[in-house]
Structure 1
Amino acid sequence: MKNFAYAKPSSVEDAIAALGDGADVLAGGTTMVDLMKLEVMTPDALVDITALPDLSEVTIGDGRIRFGALAKMQAVADNAELARMAPVFTETLWMAASPQLRWAATLGGNILQRTRCPYFRDTHYLQCNKRDPGSGCAALDGGRTNMHAILGGSEACVAMYPGDFAQALIAFDAEVVVEGPSGERRIPFADLHVLPADDPSRETVLGPREVVVAIEVPRSPAMRGSYYLKARDRESYAFASASAAVGLAMEGDTVSDARVALGGVASVPWRARAAEDVLRGATFSEELAREAGRAAFADAVPLEGSAYKIPLGASVVAGALMTARERARQEG
Structure 2
Amino acid sequence: MRTWSEMSQIQPKVTKMLTNSIQKDRVSHAYLFQGARGTGKREMSSLLTQSFFCSNRDGVEPCQRCKDCHRIQSGNHPDVHEIVAEGQSIKKEQILHLQKEFTYTGLESNQKVYIVQDADKMTANAANRLLKFLEEPNRQTMAILLTENGQSILDTIRSRCQILSFQPLNAKNLENRLMEEGINEATARLLASLTNNLDEAVELSRDEWFAKARKIVIQLIEILQSKPDEALLFIHNEWMPHFQDREAHSKGLDLLMIWFKDLVYEHVENEAAIIFIQEKERIQKSSYQWSKQFATDALTHILEAKRNLHSNVHPTLVMEQLTLQIQR
Q: Shared fold by TM > 0.5?
A: no
- TM superposition score category, shorter chain reference: under 0.3
The structure with the greater share of residues assigned to strand is 1
Q: Which protein is bigger by CA-based radius of gyration?
A: 2
TM-score norm. by structure 2 comes to 0.27
Q: Provide the TM-score with structure 1 as the length reference.
A: 0.26
More helix by share: 2
